Amino acid sequence: MAAPVAENNQQAGNPAQWSSRFAFIMAAVGSAVGLGNIWKFPYITGENGGGAFVLVYLACIAVIGLPLMMAEVMLGRRGGKSPIGTMTSVAASEERSKGWAGIGIMATLAAFLILSFYSVIAGWTMPYILSAVSGDFSGIAAEESGALFGGLLASPGELLLWHSIFMGLTVLVSAGGVRHGLERAVTKLMPALFVLLLILVGYAMTTGHFGEAVSFLFKPDFSALTAEAILVALGHAFFTLSLASGAMMAYGAYLKKDVPIARTSVVVAIMDTGVALLAGLAIFPIVFAHGLEPGAGPGLIFVTLPVAFGQMAGGSFFATLFFVLLLFAAWTSSISMLESLVSYLNEKGVSRVKAAVGGGLVAWLVGVTTVLSLNEWSGFTPLDMFARFEGKTLFDLYDYLTANIMMPLGALLTAVFVGWKMKPEHSAAELGGWHRLWFPIIRYLSPIALLIVFYFNLK
Ligand code: PFF
């Protein structure tokens, strides 16, 4: 049986600790960069009119997301345990109610629920890699591409297969532990991902429509901005930075004392944002070059891009690169979703292998209901009696519950805890000189902004 996570993660050579600042950055960026950046960001930007939405999103990252990330990493390192263990021990050392452990419990549940459906979507990349390699996209028309995607979603067996393989990959890394599993995977996969992305942006520059994409992404047209879009931007800022789901707290617990948290978090947020923008710069020129629709929605990269790849020289190669990239990105995120639970079980004496396999199995089982929501159970909308949930399948409900309720609520509670309940000297000891800037933001600005979001969201 593997040793439980050490009481004190600060011993030299501790296998339950990142070996370097670089390893932490790769792990945290690996968690942050995922389907959110490459699949979701481009399509929600397309749906919400481009530049103005991007600007609001950047503001949400800088003003709310980044300070919260610093708070979570700081709490994680102070507690040195799983998110549940960390919140329990930090609340105790601050002489606050045990109830604050609820932040850790909700984060662990949110991450677990996200993992269950994330694995299903991430699974889609694998049949796309196979189709790309075998040249299936060559010359494909928009209807055929739509039918291909529709066919995949309509087939529970196929979805189940890819979902199972993806969950297996996640469990495999997680079971390996912090240094031998997580760190080894992220320090190889993340640099590969950056190279792949740059190759794709390089290609997009040759399409003759790069300038059009740049102005779509960066020229704000505020008339295209709606109140709903602002909520979408904020929700996405949490999701893309892996906040309020324990990932950053769990990873912070494996961070050495001498790594500067604030500066490192800034690097992570910049890299995450950079990847989202680069993904936009890789995708939109291709979309525009082929006269396709930027607002196509969730199918943007699965329906639209294959058409574009099918028309370009070397399309099979670039399509393969693209979907491999997406798979890597999703994989380094999913392992961080499982970490909150695995580290908690590990603390309770369950071995890492058993915790990863058990957690993965239950998440897989919940994921099966998402698979079915896309086809056999697409008419099963159990909460129709509430107007807010009308017409939502189980998958829609998991997504709504995590993104619109659990994550903003967890973020609000975290901001209140570190801003009002924790002694400022304690947070200052972790954050150094940045504390003076960070503290008023997390104490006043973040909670107010989050309350406004709740008001509009639940109104
Ligand atoms: N940040 C990931 C993405 O953008 O795809 C999603 C995510 C990872 C959410 C880890 C939550 C989490 F704990």
21-458 classified as CATH 3.40.1710.10: no
| Banded model confidence at residue 161, pLDDT cuts 50, 70, 90 | very high
Q: Using the predicted structure, report yes or no on whether residue 10 has a pLDDT greater than 60.
A: no
Is the shortest distance between the CB of 240 and ligand 1 below 6 Å?
yes
Q: What pLDDT, on a 0 to 100 scale, did the predictor assign at position 4?
A: 38
Q: Rounded distance, CA 405 to CA 349, Å?
A: 31
Q: Rounded distance, CA 80 to CA 229, Å?
A: 37
Q: Using the predicted structure, report yes or no on whether residue 304 has a pLDDT greater than 90.
A: no
The pLDDT tens digits of the residues spanning 183-206 come to 888 888 888 888 888 988 998 898
Domain ranges in the chain are 21-458
The pTM of this model reads 0.92
Task: Name 37's Cβ contacts closer than 8 Å, sequence gap at least 6.
Answer: 240, 272, 275, 276, 279, 329
Q: What residue type is 238 in one-letter code?
A: F
Q: What pLDDT, on a 0 to 100 scale, did the predictor assign at position 295?
A: 86
Is the shortest distance between the CB of 336 and ligand 1 below 6 Å?
yes
Q: Which atom of ligand 1 is nearest to the CA of 39?
A: 5
Q: Using the predicted structure, report yes or no on whether residue 311 has a pLDDT greater than 90.
A: no
Which residue from 264, 289, 282 is spatially nearest to 326, judged by alpha carbons?
282
Ligand 1 binding pocket mutation candidate from 114, 249, 278 (most atoms within 8 A of CB): 114
Q: Which atom of ligand 1 is nearest to the CA of 329?
A: 5
Q: Using the predicted structure, report yes or no on whether residue 3 has a pLDDT greater than 50.
A: no
The average pLDDT across 309-332 equals: 90
Ligand 1 binding pocket mutation candidate from 45, 238, 239, 327 (most atoms within 8 A of CB): 239
Q: Using the predicted structure, report yes or no on whether residue 2 has a pLDDT greater than 50.
A: no
Q: Using the predicted structure, report yes or no on whether residue 210 has a pLDDT greater than 90.
A: yes
DSSP 11: S
**Where on the phi/psi map is residue 6: left (φ > 0), alpha (ψ -120 to 50), or beta?**
beta
Q: What residue type is 325 in one-letter code?
A: L
Q: Could you tell me the distance, in angstroms and rounded to a whole number, from the CA of residue 329 to the centre of ligand 1?
A: 10
| Banded model confidence at residue 7, pLDDT cuts 50, 70, 90 | very low
Q: Could you tell me the distance, in angstroms and rounded to a whole number, from the CA of residue 333 to the centre of ligand 1?
A: 6
Query: Greater confidence, 146 or 111?
Result: 111
Residue 244's SS3 state is: coil
Ligand 1 binding pocket mutation candidate from 118, 193, 278, 301 (most atoms within 8 A of CB): 118
Q: What is the mean pLDDT of the chain?
A: 92
Place of tokens 């189709």: 131
Q: Rounded distance, CA 127 to CA 131, Å?
A: 6
Separation of CA 292 from chain center: 27
Which residue from 209, 203, 243 is spatially nearest to 66, judged by alpha carbons?
243
Burial class (CB in 10 A: 0-12, 13-18, 19+), 58: middle
Q: What pLDDT, on a 0 to 100 scale, did the predictor assign at position 225?
A: 86
The pLDDT tens digits of the residues spanning 54-80 come to 999 999 999 999 999 999 999 999 999
Q: What pLDDT, on a 0 to 100 scale, did the predictor assign at position 12?
A: 53
Q: Could you tell me the distance, in angstroms and rounded to a whole number, from the CA of residue 275 to the centre of ligand 1?
A: 14
Q: Which of 311-315, 319-323, 390-394 has the lowest mean pLDDT?
A: 311-315
Q: Rounded distance, CA 367 to CA 332, Å?
A: 18
DSSP 245: S
Q: Using the predicted structure, report yes or no on whether residue 162 has a pLDDT greater than 90.
A: yes
Which run of H or E residues covers position 189? Answer: helix 184-205
Mapping DSSP onto H, E and C, the string for 249-307 reads HHHHCCCCCCCCHHHHHHHHHHHHHHHHHHHHHHHHHHHHHCCCCCCCHHHHHHHHHHH
